[in-house]
A = this chain, B = another copy of it.
Amino acid sequence: MAATLQTIADELGVSRSTVSNAYSRPDQLSPDLRARIFEAAERLGYSGPNPTARSLRRGKVNAIGVLLTDDLSMAFTDPYAVAYLRGLAEAASARETSLLLINLPKDTEAGRRVVSNAAVDAFCLYCVPDWHGALELIRARGVPIVIGEDPNAFGPDAGYVGIDERSAARRLGEHIADLGHTDVAIVAHWIVHGGVTGPVDADPDALRYYVTGERVRGFRDAFVEAGLPWERVLLINAAANDREEGAAAAAHALDRLGRATAILTTSDVLALGVLDALRVRGLRPGRDVSVTGFDDIPEAEPTGLTTIRQPSVERGRLAGEILLDPPEDPARRRLTLPVSLVVRATTGPNPAKEKS
Residues of A that sit less than 8 Å from B by CB: 2, 45, 47-56, 61-63, 65, 68, 72-73, 76-77, 82, 85-86, 89-90, 92-93, 96, 98-103, 105, 110, 113-114, 116-120, 137, 140-142
Contacts and interface: CB of A to CB of B under 8 A. Distances in A.
13 contacts: A2-B142, A45-B142, A47-B137, A54-B117, A55-B119, A56-B56, A62-B114, A72-B89, A73-B86, A96-B113, A98-B103, A98-B114, A99-B101
A72 B86 contact: yes
A120 B76 CA distance: 21
B117 A51 contact: yes
Nearest to A66: B101
A157 B181 CA distance: 66
B49 A52 contact: no
Q: Which 5 A-B pairs have the closest CB atoms?
A: A47-B140, A93-B103, A51-B119, A76-B82, A99-B101
Nearest to A89: B72
Contacts of A118: 51, 98
A76 B72 contact: no
A266 B282 CA distance: 36
Contact of A52 (B56, B82, B90, B100): B56
* Residue of A73, A117, A118 with most partner-chain B CB within 10 A: A117
